[in-house]
Amino acid sequence: GENVGLHLPTLSVQEGDNSIINCAYSNSASDYFIWYKQESGKGPQFIIDIRSNMDKRQGQRVTVLLNKTVKHLSLQIAATQPGDSAVYFCAENIKGYSTLTFGKGTMLLVSP
């Protein structure tokens, strides 16, 4: 079936670097996408979302980019900090559906 997947299982960066986490989706009917952060031993936490009528959305130190042509989603974290170390998941939703479909996740490791 169609699903959401991630290219990189682990990303290691130095503190202060910019991080880019990628996600591919295959369901062209998906119209809403969310990035979650999951710290060790905790539940996922909402970071930022984007609708399919947008290409880019910015938050505090985070930017989500959506490329519908190639069905690709990315999360950019500026000036990565050790506190950003976590697993990051993308999730998709189809309008009118009651559930999210999650990707496998990418672990981000930030070295001081």
Contacts of 3 (CB under 8 A, 6+ apart): 25, 26, 27, 101, 103
In angstroms, give the least distance from the CB of 83 to another protein.
Answer: 18
Give the residue, chosen from 12, 16, 26, 46, that forms a contact with another protein under the rule CB under 8 A. 46
Alpha-carbon separation of residue 69 from 25, 28, 50, 73, 86 (angstroms): 11, 10, 15, 11, 29
- 103 touches another protein (CB under 8 A): yes
- Residue 59's Cβ-side half-sphere holds a number of Cα atoms within 13 Å equal to 14
98 binds another protein (CB under 8 A): yes
Q: Is residue 67 within the footprint of another protein (CB under 8 A)?
A: no
Question: For residues 63 and 101, which CB has a smaller minimum distance to another protein in the complex?
Answer: 101
Q: Which residues contact another protein by CB under 8 A?
A: 4, 9, 31-32, 34, 41-46, 51, 89, 93-105
